[in-house]
Amino acid sequence: MDDHDADPERDGPTERFRIETRSVHAGQAPDPETGALMTPIFANSTYEQDAPGAHRGYEYSRTGNPTRTDLEANLADLENADFGRAFASGMASINTVCNLLEAGDHVVTGNDVYGGTHRLFTQVYEEYDLEFSFVDMTDLEAIEGAFREETELLWLETPTNPLMSIADIEGAAEIAHANDALCAIDNTFATPYLQRPLDLGADIVSHSLTKYLGGHSDVVGGALVTNDPDLDERFGFYQNSVGATPGPFESFLVLRGTKTLPVRMDRHCENAHRVAEFLDSHPDVDRVHYPGLDSHPGHDLAAEQMDDFGGMLSFELDATLEEAGEVVSATEVFTLAESLGGVESLIEQPAPMTHAAIPREERLAAGLSDALIRVSVGIEHADDLVADLEGAIESGLE
């Protein structure tokens, strides 16, 4: 069943409005029966039918649920896409793209792709005879050189984690299409507020809704959006067949989160810029990785394909692994934790945390030093964030 257009009455405003307006309204309209402004949490597994087979758009909530439908329409709208599908997690949405592939197919992807994506590719799908090439995705020639006869998918992230490398989406999509492959972009770090990969030629955009789109560190979810009706139909088939769909409460939380995406992202970007400039001028900091700084190798490209530079950054302390550990443990406002994209500022040390699975030599070769620190800059007052980092560096390195 194609539930996507199950209730066109619920569709809110679309192309006529700017993204700040659409994030509040798209996919939603007051409930025609009650006038309820916010999409209700439709806590139903099943739905009444008027006659056998004659349902009113919904039969069973794995297949389709009205709260999820509104979220899917909202997300599609934000990405300027025709279709959206929500999943139980970002990994479930990435897995769904892998479901499109067959044994013997080859995938080109980035050598600094999200750790969970790397694990899914190498520890799940290589077992099913899919092959993966991991390349420097800031280098279009390296991407092109990795393509083979069997390549069906180019999977990229930009900006990447934790060095905030920038890939050329338009150039990458051209290479994929010249080789009859699909181009999928994981847009989790940028969000549709800052970057819309379908407009740049990508075929599929994937999200972890757990991060900025949810925005409050209180929900796990994923999504795929596309303009291709056949791909959308396949995604719907996998939603129903595999069953990794979000429940109505999760869908509601993300729908609530996307309403404030533009205001949150503006503050995330502004604060991250302040923090990056402070760190850049700090004598104990060797390097800051933030695409908003002129010194970042991806700065010009980011300025072109993004509307702002995002809320994520990392920096290298002139320190040992242990000293950097002291610094990330000494903050008061920044919480020592993995994940990102919530309203609260988080700090972490990739070497013993998010990137601990990578052998040290390999990690160093990839540019991830022992004293590298990653921060997800929240929406608190920038002065408090800067003072917190200043104090933590001082006490950690004393």
Ligand X SMILES: *Cc1c(COP(=O)(O)O)cnc(C)c1O
Q: Is 376 in the site for ligand X (CB under 6 A)?
A: no
Distance (Å, whole) CA 70 – CA 248: 10
Nearest-CB residue to ligand X? 90
Q: Which stretch binds ligand X (CB under 6 A): 46-54, 57-65, 99-107, 110-118?
A: 110-118
Residue that is written with structure tokens 């029966």 in the block? 33
User: Residues of 293-306 as b/e, b for ≥16 C-beta within 10 angstroms?
Assistant: beebebbebbeebb
CB nearer ligand X, residue 10 or residue 195: 195
CA angle 118, 124, 130 (to 5 degrees): 85
Q: Is 220 in the site for ligand X (CB under 6 A)?
A: yes
CB nearer ligand X, residue 91 or residue 385: 91
Residue that is written with structure tokens 């610094």 in the block? 327
> Of residues 10, 22, 68, 211, which has the active-site annotation?
211
Q: Which stretch binds ligand X (CB under 6 A): 186-194, 290-298, 317-325, 357-365?
A: 186-194
Question: At its nearest, how many Å lie between ligand X and the CB of residue 171?
Answer: 20
Cβ neighbours for 48, distance < 8 A, ≥ 6 positions apart = 56
Please, which of residues 131-170 interact with ligand X by CB under 6 A?
157
Contact pattern from residue 75 through residue 94 relative to ligand X, giving x for each residue in contact according to CB under 6 A and a dash for the rest: --------------xxx---
Question: At its nearest, how many Å lie between ligand X and the CB of residue 284?
Answer: 28
Q: Is 316 helix (H, G, I), strand (E, B) or coil?
A: strand
> Of residues 31, 62, 136, 199, which has the active-site annotation?
62
Q: Is 342 in the site for ligand X (CB under 6 A)?
A: no
Cβ neighbours for 298, distance < 8 A, ≥ 6 positions apart = 138, 159, 164, 165, 166, 291
C-alpha separations of 72 from 114, 200, 202, 342, 360 in Å:
24, 21, 19, 21, 41
Q: Is 375 in the site for ligand X (CB under 6 A)?
A: no
Q: Is 355 in the site for ligand X (CB under 6 A)?
A: no
Residue 15 token pair: 């192309």
Question: At its nearest, how many Å lie between ligand X and the CB of residue 206?
Answer: 7
Cβ neighbours for 85, distance < 8 A, ≥ 6 positions apart = 72, 93, 96, 223, 224, 225, 232, 235, 236, 239
Other C-beta atoms lying within 10 Å of the C-beta of residue 54: 7
Q: Which of 188, 251, 305, 345 binds ligand X (CB under 6 A)?
A: 188
Distance (Å, whole) CA 301 – CA 166: 7
Q: Is 107 in the site for ligand X (CB under 6 A)?
A: no
Residue 76 token pair: 């599609």
Please check whether residue 164 is in contact with residue 289, taking contact to mean a CB–CB distance below 8 angstroms: yes
Q: Is 371 in the site for ligand X (CB under 6 A)?
A: no
Q: Is 115 in the site for ligand X (CB under 6 A)?
A: no
> Can 62 be counted among the known catalytic residues?
yes
Distance (Å, whole) CA 368 – CA 377: 20
Residue that is written with structure tokens 């309209």 in the block? 29
Q: Which stretch binds ligand X (CB under 6 A): 72-80, 206-214, 237-245, 369-377?
A: 206-214
Question: At its nearest, how many Å lie between ligand X and the CB of residue 113?
Answer: 8
CB nearer ligand X, residue 7 or residue 250: 250
> Can 259 be counted among the known catalytic residues?
no
Q: Which of 210, 245, 349, 369 binds ligand X (CB under 6 A)?
A: 210
Distance (Å, whole) CA 114 – CA 355: 9
How many chain residues bind ligand X (CB under 6 A)? Answer: 15
Question: At its nearest, how many Å lie between ligand X and the CB of residue 271?
Answer: 19
Question: At its nearest, how many Å lie between ligand X and the CB of residue 95?
Answer: 9
Please give the residue ranges that form the binding site for ligand X (CB under 6 A). Answer: 89-91, 114, 116-117, 157, 186, 188-189, 208, 210-211, 220, 222
Residues carrying an active site annotation:
62, 114, 186, 211
